[in-house]
Structures are given as C-alpha cells and as structure tokens.
Structure 1
Amino acid sequence: MKQAFRLEQGGLVDRSKAISFLFDGVRYEGHPGDTLASALMANGVKLIGRSFKYHRPRGIVAAGVEEPNALVRLRSGARAEPNTRATAIELYEGLVAESQNRWPSLKFDLMAVNNLLSPLFPAGFYYKTFMWPARLWPSYERVIRNAAGMGVATRQDDPDRYEKRFACCDVLVVGAGAAGLAAAGVAMRAGAKVFLVDENASLGGSLLGQGTRIDKIPAAQWAHDMAAGLSTNSRVTVLPRTTAFGYYDHNMVSLIERVADHVAVPGPHVPRQRLWHIRAKRVVLATGAIERPLVFGNNDLPGVMLASAIRTYANRYGVAAGRRIVLFVNNNSAYSAAFDLARLGIDVAAIVDVRRAIPAAIMEQARSLGIPVHLGSIVLRALGSGCVKGAEIALRDSGRGTSIACDVIGTAGGWAPSLHLHSQSGGKAVYDERIATFIPGPGKQAAISAGAARGVFQLREVLKDGAAAAVSACADLGLKQQTPDVIVEGDEPDLDIEAFWLAPQRLGAKAKQFVDLQDDVTVNDVALAARENFRSVEHLKRYTTLGMGTDQGKTSNINGLALMALARQEPIPVVGTTTFRPPYTPVTLGAFVGRQIGKGFSATRLSPMHQWHLDNGAVMASAGQWLRPKTYVGPGETYAQAWRRETLAVRRGVGIVDVSTLGKIDVQGPDAARFLDLVYSNRFSTLKPGRARYGLMLRDDGIVLDDGTTSRFAEDRFFMTTTTAHAGKVLSDLEFLLATAYQKLRVRVTSLTDQYAQIALAGPKSRTVLEALLPGVDVSDAALPHMGVLETSLAHIPLNVFRLSYSGEMAYELNIPAGYGMALWMRLLEAGKPLGITPYGTEAMGVMRIEKGHVAGPEIDGRTTADDLGLGKLASKAEPFIGKPLMRREGLISPERPKLVGVMSTSPGAKIIAGSAIVKEPMAGAASLGWISSSTYSPTLDTHIGIAFIKNGRALIGQKLTAWSPLHNYTCEVVVGEPVFYDPSGEKLHG
C-alpha cells in the first residue's frame, strides 16, 4: 500500500516491515517505530476528529503528549479506551482506532450545525441559558450530559491487569532528552542509585527529531548509545514508556509505566500498566518544553501544526506533513525546522516572521536553500474548507493580504517549559521576559529543573545544564563528579523571540481565532470573560473552559493568559498562572486500583456458620467485609414475611443469631483498666471481674466513634466488643495510642475477631435453652445477672457466656473458639427445638433494636455527640478521656443541635422512609427540623416507627410533625415520642 507522504529515506522507522491497522474501518499501513499519528499522516489522512463544542474538523497539531486535537478511541470491546492521543500511541499490528465526537461519520457530522449556531454559544452560555425556568433543569441536564465529553467509555469490565510498585533512589531523573541523559550519566558515574524515566518508547526526546551532531555522531545515535550505557549499569533503572504524572510531599513522584500498551493484548501474567511511587533523595526535572502556537484566523483547520512537530515527523518518522509548507514564526527555532525540511526535499513555500530583523547568518542560509522569508509579516488567516489550502499573509502595519498556496501552516510562537511537576512540588513559576514565558522559580523540595524545562534551549547549553544539575544533586548527597565536555555541531541559534500574541483580523473578517483548540475557546471568549469580570485566571479557566480538556491547556494556556493580560492592561506576571494539578497526562483508573478489584478489592469474611446459613435459605448481605444473613426465607414465604416472623419468634419465644462479625479485642496488662478509662468516655477501672459494661468511645474532636460492651475477666484482662463496621478502626486507634500518646502504659491489645465465633441467644425462653445446653451450670439471675459474665466449658471446650441484650429481651451471647462455632450453633438448635427456637438475621435484629431505641450505624454516623444520642451521662465529669477537651465546644453543646427521639406513624399503614426530613409542613424551602435516621415496620407494635434527630426534640414529645422525602415525593405524619418503644422499664431485659 502506497504511503503518499512517506519520505523515500530518513527517519527512525523500519521500512522493511509493514504494520496493518484500522482507522474508522479503513485499513492502512505503517512501519515499526511509527505512532498512529505519523502513520495516518504518511497515508495522507488529515481529518482526525471533531472539536468539543462546535464540531469543527480537526487534524494533527503536535507530535507528543501536548496534542489537543487528534484524540481517538483506541481498541474495541472491553479494552476500548477513549480520548487517547494519536501522537502518543505506538503503532502495532492489528491496531484499531476510530474518531470521536461525530455522528454519523467523521466527514459528515450533523453536530457541525453548532458551528453555524456559534453566535448562540459564547463562553459561559450554559450558565445564563439553563437557569430558568428552574423546573426544566432536569431536562436541560440530560441534554447537557449527553453533549458533554468527547469519547465514549466502554461499559464492560476491563480484562487487563495492573500493578503497583514502590521504590527509593538517590537521584530520580524525569525526562530522557538531552538534559536528562546528561544528568543520568553524571549521577551514574558518581555512584548514585539512579532512576531515569521517560514517557516515550525511545530515549532521546527532541534529539530524535533533530539533525545536529553530538561528539561527532548524529544526535539520535548519541542518545541511543547513552541509553544503552545507562541500561546496562546495575545502579541505574531505566523506565521508558513511563510518565511522571504527579509530584507529592517528601519527594515522592508517582509514575505510570505503560508496560503493554504497545501491543494488542498483553501476554499472560503481564500487566498492562504499572503504577510506581518513588521516593528520591534528589529529583532532576528534565521535562523539556512545549512549543506554543500563534493565534490567527482559522488556525484550527487541519494542516495547521506546530513547526517543531512538522520537523519531528520529517526527521524521526520520515513523513512529510504536507507538500508545500508555510511557517509562521516569532523566533529563531523554526528556522532550523525549515532548513531540515528543505534538505529532505520538502517545499517550504515561505517563512512569515513577525520580527523585522533576523540574524544575517540565518537569512543567508534561508536564501541558499531557496526559502523566501517575509519579515515584519503575519498570517492573517488560513485558507480552505476542511483543510488548509493556503495562507493569507500581510505586513504587520498593513491590512492588505496576499495569498500563498500551501497545504500546511507551521506555527512557532515560542517555547513553554513543562512546569507541571515543579509546580506540583510546591515550586513557584516566574515570568521571564527574555523568552516570553514562565520558568521554574523557587522550589520547596529537593528538585532541580534542567535544560529546556528551565528555559535553556540551545543544545550545547542544555547538555551542560543537565550535567550541572546532576553534579549539584550528587554533591548534596556527598558524591563528587565533574561536568563532562561535549562537542555539539549544527547547534541552533539563540531563541531571540519577540512576544506576539494575536494576529489582528481585517475589518469585517469573520474567521474564528482559536486559543484552545480542544475546547473551542476563541479570542472573543477570552475578551468576553474580561468584559463580564471573570478576570482572574482561575475564573477565566472555568468560565471559558480554557485548558480544561484532556491536554490541560499545554499549548493554549500561555496564549490565553497573555490575551487576558492585554484585556486587563496588566503585565502577564500580574495576571499569573492557573494551578498545575496532577496528573500531568491522563492516567487509566485501573492503574490506581491495581489488583484491588473484585475479591481483591476487599477480603470477603465468612463466619464459621456461613454454609449453614446458605443451606437454610438465608438472604446474605454485606456488613463491612463480612457476609451476614439478613433473614431466612422459608418455602412460600416473602422476604418481609420472613423477618417479621423471626422478630415475633424472638419476642414470644427464643431465637439465635450469628454475631461472630462483632469486633473482639483482648486488652491485657497491669494498666489495662487505666487505658480503658482513657479510650472510653465512661470508667472501666471500677468494673468488677465477671461483669460487663456498655461503653461509648469518642473521637479526638468529641464526636462518637463507636459503642459496645467490654467485659472484665480478671484484674488485668478485659474483652472488648465493637461494632462490625468499626472493628478495624478501633483496633488501629488503640494500637496508635499505645505506640504514641501512651507508650508508658503496660498494655497489649490483640484482635480476636476471627478467633472466636459468637452467637446471641435471645427471647423470654432463652434461659431454658441455655440450661438445656449447659446442664449443671448455674445460669440463674443470681449467678448470671444482666451484664454478668460466665467462663465455663462445653464438652471441654472453653465457652464464655455474656448476659447481654441487643433485642431488649432476656438474652445471652455465647463465645467459643471459631473452629467449634458450627458445633455450638447446632447444639443450640437442638436444645431449643422443643421450644421452637428460630434463627434470625440482621433485619429482625434491626427491627428489635429500633423498637428498643438502641443506637447503631445510622445514628453513630460521624456527626453525633454523646448528648445528641441521649448518652451524655456516660461521659465522666471527673476523669480525662479521649474527646473530652473538645466535646464541650460551643457548636457541640448548642441547644439547636438535633437530639435523639422516637417517631411513630399516626396511621399504622403509613411507611416512614429513613432519610426523610422532619418538617412542620412539606413545601419547597420548608425549614428542616431534623431527619429520620432509622425506620421500620414493627410487627410487635403493628405500626411504623423510627428513630429521629429533631431540634429541641425532647420538648416536642407528643406533637405531630411530617416526615417528608422529596426524593420519593412522599410524606408521612408522625408523632414524636421517647426513643424506646418496647418495654421502656426494662422488665423483660432483666427477666
């Protein structure tokens, strides 16, 4: 297959091998070493995509990660990945890509009508258009959401694997261009442990696209030799295809390594990508610079490109961007590109230079190559429809334009150092008038910017600067090394830039001038933002979407800031820059997750009786990491009928429930009692052995963390239980306190959650079942009263019996080594069979705890205090405990805080929805008095009840209010009462 724009020779691609790929269903060919962009360009494909808002035709602009236009959907099916940059995709056999943001096709996009209607869609139009009438917002939202974004993500599960790695090193060098290779070489020879990372497959950066020579060999060969030498050194880790996307505190840099993105399907056991977190003693940021375009009319037409990209495609990929090229420049760097193109036989029709004078040597070289140079001139607009057909140029002082036929316009508006990592590390950006851009200023971490990333552009100086940065970094580490001498031939002249931000339009001209190509932000949009007082750069960004695309404004930000500075009539440094946030380039979400997916996301924990539950019709539900039975649905029974049956069975007879998931922590040591006095709000040092006590645990800020019972087995041994959800949190907090604040206390805490099975036996007939289970053991009220603890055995197996009740009935919790949990469960069922013992699940547990007014997760939600829960009396007034200093803050003791109360439906059949607001009357804007935290139908009371938090709730007992759920468009009249609905005197509890 003929590649019409592939040069006969040159480039670093392997012309001996052909690679077949598909773009929008059409088959093309490229070569190893190509990117998708270079291969498409070689085949003459100019139209790659459509713009975000106006759906204007867009082509390739850049040759790297700064590409704003050439975004494609890569691969298909479960591996489909939208918004990938064609300029950064390595070509591989069988690659499948398609264009985005168009319908029904790329060439014929019906949404291009937006371009005709563009006067209706200025910057910020959606803020003004969709605010009225408010009732139509849901309809507006659907339309906006459907129109937002560019690519379409797959809904299938990602079949690929991702990994994470952590590493430390002496020197981390980010970027393997000229400066980075020089820095890594110096650090290696100094004996440092070095990591060298670069986002490209081949190291060398811009050296791979230049015609210069270093130490008498081509720059690309020099880069190859340096990379080979570094790769074979045992103290150097070289990571190609790796992007440093985030710089965090304590010199931690996060990287994404694209291990298998350059193949269709990763091999067995090969991750697609690997996330690295590297802590480095010193970091050298050799991240290079990005060329910025010049702004003129129709500058978004396919065929308008960066001059450096045109040069890269020719020198590195052996591809001509076009047949006839015009360069629009304001500095010397583009001349080197023009000279390279001319030597390769590409027609450079003209260089249009805004400057009125250039160095004589450059002018002479242009004449010798037959390249016309138009000084003091500008490109007014690109000519053509769908792609560039010519350029209209004019003298800067004249409005008259002349046309030059061409199919590519290359722009060179100067270079912007990649400050992203420097800024993320806390470093400042300062404006350098010499090169008309921002460069790294004072930093906060142990990092040094080098080369083009520091505003140094001549190759000879870049190499010296990279080496010097490494010498400085090594010196900080006590390693000595000298800067090597290098010989550079064919070096580029000094930049000699003249700041130029906008080519003025002729009177009456209607050609759009784009600042941000991806997001369709025009010069007029920036001007409108200034007029409407969105003059802060952060407001400018959000009002116009400047720099908010996948490219994060890499080619547009400086121009946008400069235009705002002109509008404000202030210097660019005063206007400032927007915030550089990670990631530097988009990162696959799967890389952050790594192997923590499916069962690897969170361990599934099963109680010793799990299989029995499944075999007996249990409907299982997640409770943290655990699976617990919600209810046991019998033959011909509905879910609701099942849990209501279970609830009444416990209230009238006896039931058992698996509570093995409760957190169980052994607390031992001479100072155990003193330690518990500090971590609980109430005292435990006064608790006698053989007794249990309910305790409330607060956070440092005075908010309730957890509740549970703790039993004392001996003077120096306690057994703590926590809620299922907070077991891990409580244990880690205890360990932290003993390792920091209370190091001198002689205490050890050990998790026993998995070591013991625990079963609750509840109901008025529970003691009869316990007596049948433990014949000869005294479990009477005298021997085992409420909150009593009994250590005994069952068939010579240690068994702990706690007289505790969550249901409000007489109840016991039996604790046995986990391996015997199933045996204990079966023995209890056998012992209770004559009494109709019923297994019950968390639904019935929840119903009974609401009937009894017990607080749980919905009430202990990280916002409530002990006073809010009606448990303020548990807070010791005399003794210190965690949370006490802050629990009395003004906001936490305000009488306006909602307090715990009970609510009951005034109509037995009317459901109370948890989460409903409590109001006097349901209407838009009604003041909320509180909310429903938990609700249920009570089979015991045959009505709907709930627990609520209501402002001044205690004073409202007996009054009728409304529980209103706007989400469900539902209201229910309720009467406020005490939170304890069942057996308020506790007679049943004490038997």
Structure 2
Amino acid sequence: MTARRLGTGGLIDRSTPLGFRFDGQPLRGYAGDTLASALLGAGVGIVGRSFKYHRPRGVWGAWTDDPNAIFDVRMGRVTKPNVHGATTPLEDGMILKSVNAFPSARFDLKGALDLLHPVLPAGFYYKTFMWPNWHLFEPAIRKMAGLGQVLPSAGQDQSSLQIHDQCDLLVVGAGPAGLAAARTAAEAGQNVVLVDDHREPGGSLHDDPVAIDGQPATAWITAQADAIKAAGGRIMTRTSAFGVYDHGLISLHQAAEFAGQPTMIKMRVRRMILASGSIDRPVVFENNDRPGVMSIGAAASYLNRYGVLVGERITCIGAPHQTGRHAARFTKAGAEVRQIDPATTDIGAIGRRHLRAVSAGTSRHTADAAVCTAGQTPLIHLWSQAGGHLGWDPGRACFLPTEGPKMIQVIGAARGQDKLAACIEDGVRAARSQPLAPLADVAAVTAGKPRSGRQWIDFQNDVTTKDVTLAARENYASVEHLKRYTTLGMATDQGKTSNINGLTALAAALDRPVDQVGTTRFRPPYAPVPLQLYRGAKHDQQHAPLKRSPLEPACRAAGAAMAEYGGWLRPAWYGPDMDSAVKAECLRARQFAAIMDASTLGKIEVMGPDAADFLNFVYYNTLKTLRIGQLRYGFLLTERGAIYDDGVVGRLGENHFLVSSSSSHADGVTSLLEAWRQDGNDPDQIFVHDVTQQWGTVTVAGPKARDVLAGLDLGISLDRADFPHMTLQIAEFDGQPARIARVSFTGDLSFEISVPRQLAPALWDRLIHAGEPYGAGPVGLEASSVLRAEKGYIIIGKDTDGDTIPPDLGFVAPRDRKTRPYVGDRGLMMDAALSSDRQHLVGLDVIGSDQRLPVGAHIVEPTGTGQRSIGFVTSSYDSPTLGHPIALALLRGGFGRIGDDLTLYHLGRERQAKVINPCVFDPEGTRLHA
C-alpha cells in the first residue's frame, strides 16, 4: 500500500501538525485525524497482526467496523490497551504500539505460526492439547492469548462522569436520515436529542459528498443542525448509543480526550429513531486479508474526511453501481483505477506483506490497494438488543429489521434504503409517526465461484471459509456453536465485518437458505467502550461515604486514634499506644466511669396507630406490652429465623417508638422496617424515620456514672428508684430536649444521653469536665469491646454468623411463649432450629497459658480418621479487670458442655480451654442495677 496525504481536501486542519510515534517510528498527522488516518497518511501499511496466525494486517475500515487497527497507546503517564485506531482522535505526543506483535507489526517473530496453519484449524485447541493433559500446555497458550497489554495507568482518573437524562425522542445517527428526523421532530415541539459518534454531524455525506436541494452537502448539514438547535433540540457528537435496556433506557458513551474522563449518559426515552446507517460487507476472495485490501466506503472516507488517498493503483471490487461513483473520485484525486465485478470472475490478492497485484480470472493487474464491497450491511445492533426481530433479504443479501418494539423505529440505510432521497424521506415520516414507504425490490447479487485458496471471513480472529466448512462437517450447525467453535464474530468489531459472510458460508456448507441458518443476538455494547465508563462516581468513599460523628473533633482533641468501624469513623482508643491505652481505659470504666461517643448507634423512630402491632410482628421479642418510658432488648430476624440485628427499643408515646440498632446496621434496619411496612400493612398507619444523624449521643458508664451526670443539672432525678435500669426519660440540656436511657453495653451502671446534633460537642465538654473529679474520662471502642465481652454481650456479625438464632444465645422464651406471628417464626420451628446440637454461645477459660486464644481458632474433637471442627472462637481479649484472657465462642451443643475441657486448633498449634458461661464479670448484675 502506498497511501499518501493529499495537499488539500478533508476535514483536517493542516495548520496544526501533531507528532506521534508508531512502533518506535516518529510520524506526523494533523488535528482532525484519527490514529488510523494518520498512519495511512504517513504511508504505514501494516498496523498490526492477526490473533491466531500473526498475519500482517492493514486498515480495513474507517470507523467502528475496522477490526485491524488496534493499538496500545501511551500519552504522558497514561497508558490504555486495545485502543481502536479508526475511532480515536490523534493527539500530539501519542506513542502507539502495535498489539499481538513482537518486536513490531512490520516484523513479528510469531509470524512463523502462519506456516503451521494446516495443523492449526478452527477448534484445534479443543483436540490437540487434550493429550496427555491440557494443563501442560495451558500456561504457554494463555501467555500467547490476548491482544494488548494492561499496564498501570498512573495519573489517569479511572472513573467516569455519570449523567441521568431524558427526552421525548432520541435519534441515533446524524446522517441524512437522522438529521431530517431530528429537525422535523424538534420543529414539531418535541424534546429531541440527536447523537452521533463522529465529531461532527453529517454521517455518510462526509464520505460521499453530494448536492442536496441544490446546495453542497456541508451547507445542507449545517442548515439542518442549526434548525435543530433553533427549535430547542440537542445534538451530542462523539456520543455513541451502545446499549438498549428495559423501560426506555438507552446507554450513551460520550468520549473525552485520551486522558480525560468519559461520560456515561443514562437516557430515558419515550421513543427512539435508529438511523445508524450501514457498512460495506467484505468480498470473500483468495488472500483478501492482505494489507492494502479495504472497504471501499472506508477508502472514500479517508479521502473525503482526512485527505488521504489509499493507493496510487486502486482496484475497485464490487458491482459497478456500488463502486462507480467512488472510482471516479479516486481517479480525480490522482489514482489509476480499475474496476472488477466479482460476479463475473474469480479474484485473488497477490503479495506477501502488502498487496502487489489483483488477479481476475487469468488476468493479473498491478495494484497497491484493493477497495471492496459486496453490498451494504445495515447496523441494526441496537434494534436486536431491544428484542427486535430480523428477516433475511436475499436481494440485498443482509438481515433487515422486521417485528419489534414499538418504541423504536429503524430508518434509512439501517433498514435497507440505498437512495439518499429515500433516506431523508424516511426521517421525515418517522418523526411524524407516519408509516415508512416500502423498500424497493432489488435483484439478488450473485458472486463468482472463489478459487480454492485461503479466504478470510473474520480478519482479526483468522477465521476462513475452510474453518466454517470444518465446523459444519463436525456438526456445529447452530450459529451459536459456530461462533464459539471458530470464534467467528468475536473480534473487537463484534462481527460487523464477518457475520453475514460467515452465515452465508455456513448456509452453503449445510445446503440451507441463510434465513434458516439464522443469526446470533447482538448484545451491548454496540462498540467497545472504556472499562472506566462502568466505574462511575460511586466508588471508594463516594460509593460508601465514611460516616462521621458530630463528636469527631472533640475526640481527636482528646487524643483519639480514629478508625473505621461498620462504616463509621470512631475513636478506637485515646493515646499513642493501643495496648496500654485499652488497658487503662478498661480499668477507668470499671473503677470510675467511661465517657464514650455513642452517636453512631442507629436511632430509628417508628410512629403511627399501628406502630405497636408492627414492631411486635417484626421483632422476635414481645414489644406490644412495652409501657411508655420502658426499654426492651430484642432481635430482628430474617425470614428463616437467623439474627439480623439486635438492639434496644423504647416507647416514647402511645404510638411512638425509638428503635436502636447496631451502628453498622442502621441503614439495613431502616430498609428492613420499610420493606415490612409496605408488605401486608397499611403504610398510612405506620411511619419509619431514620434519625441517626439528627442526634448526638454520649454514654457515661461505670460506678461513678451517676455522680458525673449529676453535674449537668438535667432537671430529672437520677436515683435508682426513680430511674431504674431499662427505662427512658426526657430531660433538658441547654433548653433543648435530651433523651436519657438507662441501658448498658458494659455491664455497669450506665446512661446514654442523646441531644440534638448541634449540642453534642457542648454535652461532651461538660461531661468531660464534670467527670474529672471522679477519675472519669474518654474511652474508645476497643476498650468498650473488652468490657462487653466480660459480660458476655454479643456483637452482631462477630459473635454470630448467618445461621445463629436467638435460642443459640440463650433467648428461648419468646419462641416458646409468643403467640402472635412474627418474622422468622416458622424458621425457628424447623427441625434444624430445634436441634440440641446447634452452635451455642459460650465462654472459654484458657488452660495452661496466659496468652489469649486466637479469634477464629477451631474447637476440635477427635474422629475415627482425625479431627473435626465443632465450633470456633468469635471474640478473644486480655481482660485487665480479671487479670487473665477471656473468650467467647460458638460451640456445637455448647450449653450442655459447660465445664468440659476442649482442644483448639489454629495454624498448626493446639491450645486447651474450659467451657464456661459467657458472663464472667458481675454475673449477678449487681453493678448493672446500682
């Protein structure tokens, strides 16, 4: 191929040269070039290698139908693999590397594989490497597989901008049909969006410029675009509609600069007009994959869009009415042109690395470019994605849209129109929701008998007519089997160039009509899109934002080491060293008082006339009998009876309840309550509100808790008789209501004070100041976890698993006594739930060591062949209060094993422990009720 850049013509800007490199060679293009047009303009013929045989490949197409010009591209610190050269704009400083080639596309050491093609037919890997063992060959085959190379993309934003949009009418394709449709609809008052994946509207009019209504094509395009915008319509260029989904959702990819952030537009539409056009179907002939053989439409596009003449001696292969107008333009541009009709003779390409000549029958013609068309293939991928059916048109030798969704209408070349005036008329009629004119009948295209040489159908994946015949002979007669057996249509062009020829070859091999062979279903995306498009803004902290307490600044000022717990940033301990800090904080809580940030606890208000019955239904425990001002501990269960969350429920009024959940489960509990509210209940009688972020909470727990709280003058009596354990009172703090609950997570006298969020810092400061005379001070979550384990209190998800039910923790009474239905009741009555051999929560006392047990260590017992696990350690700590390690565990039949000695196994080491009750601190509860 001796392609060259012309001095004039095209849509490029010759005043803005752009430097780039390809396989180490410095080259130059211009603003407005694509990678493919820049390479052709620089005279580069071989741009890559085929997947299997590593045969040299040149540019075939000028847009998404090109399967050959694929590159790894680096620009600055950003590297992207498998960049589509025919659609990617050239930028100054780009470094292109051919894929599937070493050391370069021009000279590839693996090109010798082509010599082995007789023993490497389609499906050879399914047969050849089965003996003696596939795994012996697998590493080498996997190393050779693939195209580009994925490298770290330092400096590149790996997310995309996500936009939700809507319109009355989405027109896909800004060619003549699409422009006519969008203008007509916009001027009729519809909310119209016109999208096209090129940088400018116009479509085929830029590849084949003809006069319309007595004016040049460019002037007509400008007039249509201006009219659309004037009528309020929108035109989105460099925007590809790549997927059609349910309920009128169309996914759009709006491309950015190479290192920029692409945009995903999720467009909801009432109606869509598909004016996606058509592409050239390759002519199948001997060695038709040689560099220099390309689509005639692509050659016209490179000439008229980019000012590149693809050869000096061009052979046009196709029916005269399909090639004549283009041939005249190539001649005018300075090429020597010859036309060959494949229906009249057999054809072959001659040349090894490049096309040197074309043979026609017994004649041979020198040529450096062969531009081909076997007819037009409509681009109806989006129609097929939406569930539209396809019918075979024997005259046009392609599939056309038939029955399908009413919201989509296919027009212009995409439905088989081949006349410009008819395409424009289609656009006008479709915009007005008028029936389209019937297609004109055409005579069937006949092709000459190809010679016996290798004839390519899928250029990238090296599928030949021989491979299709072999698949049919081995009874892979279904198009789905053919696709997977030969990889036909699985290249990066997604079968745009290969499907029709592949189906035709299969039909011939099976001696069936093409319409009986059928076709595969097209799937999103229509064309390759960057993976980052699927990674929107909702990732990392933007996907699950780290929740923050209103007391975070105060805790940090007190020396807190902050850590993430259940999606919240919380104080883990106070001081520089974890071990010493946790020990000191545990002793402070047991001897004096702990002041803790509890703002993260879930606070969900449930109100309404049916609130009591509703909570009684969703909770395992009986809550309907709860009196105003009382608190009750309870469990929320899944429908199979497993524990989902635990917490305290308080009754603020006759129809007003406050549900407290674990910190990490506030969102989940809200969703669960809302789901049950709408399932079998009157939603107007029950209301669920998550108020977690509206309140700040400080817990004061320990023997001196009452003395510390007395310093705040809350206006209520804190005496034991007036404020017993598991009750709730409304007090006042700084003129605002304060909810105070006598509830404990440490097993000591404890008060939880909740105030409006803005008052939380003042509450914290006052409590810290009031606690100083009594030795009270801040305590973090790590120490709190030790304190609760001393009492045998659980943490959901740590001391329970997905199979734990309340009786496993010793909470049996509601199952035995509750008469009203509740969520999970049936699951708790199944044989598995009633078994005495379930895993129960127990405590473990370490034997013969002062080292705590590893969390996750398995409790084992001997069997006839070794050991089996009968449980595992869920929590394990050094207890400063008791002076020895403590642990909690889930143990099979644990309630009946109290007092037994057990063996634990962890990472090859065995430990000994005794089964005890979970509560090892103040089992009588004296301090709790002080």
Where does 1:697-712 land on structure 2 (aligned, <5 Å)?
Answer: 697-698=636-637, 705-712=644-651
Establish whether residue 233 from structure 1 lines up as the match of residue 238 from structure 2: no
- 2-side partners of 1:335 and 1:176: how far apart? 25
Is residue 3–residue 311 contact of structure 2 (8 Å, CA) maintained in 1? no
Q: Displacement, 1:284?
A: 0.7
| Cα distance in 2 for residues equivalent to 1:658 and 1:109 | 66
Shift of 1:106: 4.2
Alignment of 1:460-539 (within 5 A): 460-472=421-433, 494=442, 496-498=444-446, 503=450, 505-506=452-453, 514-521=456-463, 537-538=479-480
In structure 1, what residue type is equivalent to 2:305?
A: R
Structure-2 residue corresponding to 1:19: 17
2:354 counterpart residue number: 387
Residue 496 and residue 871 in structure 1: after superposition, are their counterparts in 2 closer, same or farther (change >3 A)? farther
* CA distance 1:766–1:121, change in 2 (3 Å): farther
Q: Which residue of 1 aligns with 2:242?
A: 245
AA of the residue aligned to 1:690: G
Match of 1:552 in 2: 494
One-letter identity of the residue aligned with 2:376: W
Counterpart-to-counterpart distance in 1, 2:371 and 2:395: 23
Q: Normalising to structure 1: TM-score of the pair?
A: 0.80
**Which residue number corresponds to residue 89 of structure 1?**
88
Output one character per residue of 1:759-806: Cα deviation in whole Å (capped at 9) or x when no partner.
233446545654566699644544333322233345655433222233
The aligned amino acid for 1:322 is G
Determine if the alignment matches structure 1 residue 825 to structure 2 residue 824.
no
Asked if residue 759 in structure 1 is aligned to residue 720 in structure 2, the reply is no
Match for residue 76 of structure 1?
75
Distance 1:946 1:682, change over 3 A: closer
In structure 2, the residue matched to 1:283 is: 272
Is the CA contact (8 Å cut-off) linking 1:331 and 1:495 kept in structure 2?
no
Q: How does 1:493-892 map to 2 (within 5 A)?
A: 494=442, 496-498=444-446, 503=450, 505-506=452-453, 514-521=456-463, 537-538=479-480, 540-542=482-484, 544-563=486-505, 572-596=514-538, 600-623=542-565, 625-634=567-576, 637=577, 639-640=578-579, 642-643=581-582, 646-647=585-586, 650=589, 654-698=593-637, 705-732=644-671, 734=673, 742-743=681-682, 745-763=684-702, 766-767=705-706, 769-770=708-709, 778-794=717-733, 798-833=737-772, 836-837=775-776, 839-849=778-788, 852=792, 854-858=794-798, 874=814, 877-881=818-822, 887=827
Letter in 1 for 2:387: G
Work out the CA distance in 1 between the residues paired with 2:877 and 2:485.
50
Say which SS state the counterpart of residue 754 (structure 1) adopts.
Answer: helix
Gap runs ≥5 in structure 1: 267-271, 356-374, 395-400, 476-481, 486-490
| Aligned twin of 1:302 | 291
The correspondence of residues 323-402 of structure 1 with structure 2, limited to 5 A, is 323-329=312-318, 333-353=322-342, 355=343, 375-379=344-348, 382-391=349-358, 394=361
Partner Cα separation in structure 2 for residue 869 and residue 142 of structure 1 = 54
Alpha-carbon deviation of 1:309? Answer: 1.0
Q: 1:456 to 1:882 in 2, by over 3 A?
A: farther
**What is the distance in 2 between the residues matched to 1:600 and 1:378?**
59
Contact 1:867 1:899 in 2 (8 A): no
User: Once the 2 structures are TM-superposed, how far is the Cα of residue 293 of structure 1 from its aligned partner?
Assistant: 2.4
CA deviations on 1:177-227 (whole Å, 9 max, x unpaired) are 122122223323433222111111121211211154332344454333322
Q: How far apart, in 2, do the equivalents of 1:6 and 1:584 lie?
A: 31
- Partner residue in 1 for 2:168: 170
Mapped to 2, the partners of 1:806 and 1:534 lie a distance apart of 67
Distance of 2:132 and 2:765 partners within structure 1? 64
8 Å contact 1:174–1:244 — kept in the other structure?
Answer: yes
1:209 and 2:207 matched: yes
2:352 aligned with 1:410, yes or no?
A: no
Counterpart of 1:419 in structure 2 is: 380
1:311 equivalent to 2:300? Answer yes
Match of 1:980 in 2: 918
Contact 1:901–1:977 (CA under 8 A) maintained in structure 2: no
Shift of 1:62: 0.7
SS of the equivalent of 2:227 reads helix
Please give the alpha-carbon distance, in whole angstroms, between the structure 1 residues aligned to 2:625 and 2:499.
67
Question: Could you tell me which amino acid in structure 1 is paired with residue 367 of structure 2?
Answer: C
Residue 153 (structure 2) aligns with: 155
Partner SS, residue 428 of structure 2? helix
**Mind listing any 5+ residue stretches in structure 2 that lack a counterpart?**
none
Q: 1:877 to 1:571 in 2, by over 3 A?
A: farther
Paired amino acid for 1:879: R
Give the SS at the match of 1:727. Answer: helix
| Cα distance between partner residues in 2 of 1:594 and 1:106 | 35
* RMSD between aligned residues: 4.6
Distance 1:669 1:694, change over 3 A: same
Shift of 1:674: 3.1
Q: Is the 8 A contact 2:847 2:914 kept in 1?
A: no
CA distance in 2: counterparts of 1:177 and 1:796, whole angstroms: 69
Of residues 191, 198, 201, the one that matches 1:200 is: 198
Q: 1:623-671 CA deviation, whole Å, 9 max, x = no partner?
A: 455311233343xx3x455445545654666433322112212333444
- The residue correspondences of 1:433-472 to structure 2 (distance < 5 A) are 433-472=394-433
Q: 1:119 to 1:866 in 2, by over 3 A?
A: farther
Is 1:181 aligned to residue 121 of structure 2?
A: no
Please, what TM-score do these two structures have when normalized by structure 2? 0.84
Tell me the SS of whatever aligns to 1:783.
Answer: coil
Q: Deviations over 1:880-902 (max 9, x none)?
A: 45566x85798996979975545
Deviation (angstroms), 1:724: 2.4
- 2:251 maps to 254
For residue 87 of structure 1, give the secondary structure of its aligned residue in structure 2.
coil
Q: Show the counterpart of 1:364.
A: none
Give the letter for the 2:291 counterpart: P
Which residue in 1 is equivalent to 2:45? 46
Measured after TM superposition, the shift of residue 64 of structure 1 is 0.7
Asked if the contact 2:71–2:148 (Cα under 8 Å) also holds between the matched residues in 1, the reply is no
Number of equivalenced pairs: 920
Q: How has the CA–CA distance of structure 1 residues 618 and 386 changed in structure 2, closer, same or farther, with 3 Å as cutoff?
A: farther
How many Å apart are 1:73 and its aligned residue? 3.8
Q: Which amino acid aligns with 1:377?
A: D
Q: 2: distance between equivalents of 1:300 and 1:293?
A: 10
Where 1:386 maps in the other structure, the secondary structure is coil
176-185 or 122-131, which deviates more = 122-131
CA distance in 1, matches of 2:867, 2:318: 63
Structure 1 residue 444 displacement after superposition: 3.2
User: Secondary structure at 1:208's aligned position in 2?
Assistant: helix
Q: How far off its partner does 1:450 sit?
A: 1.3
Query: Quick one: which amino acid aligns to residue 660 of structure 2?
Result: T
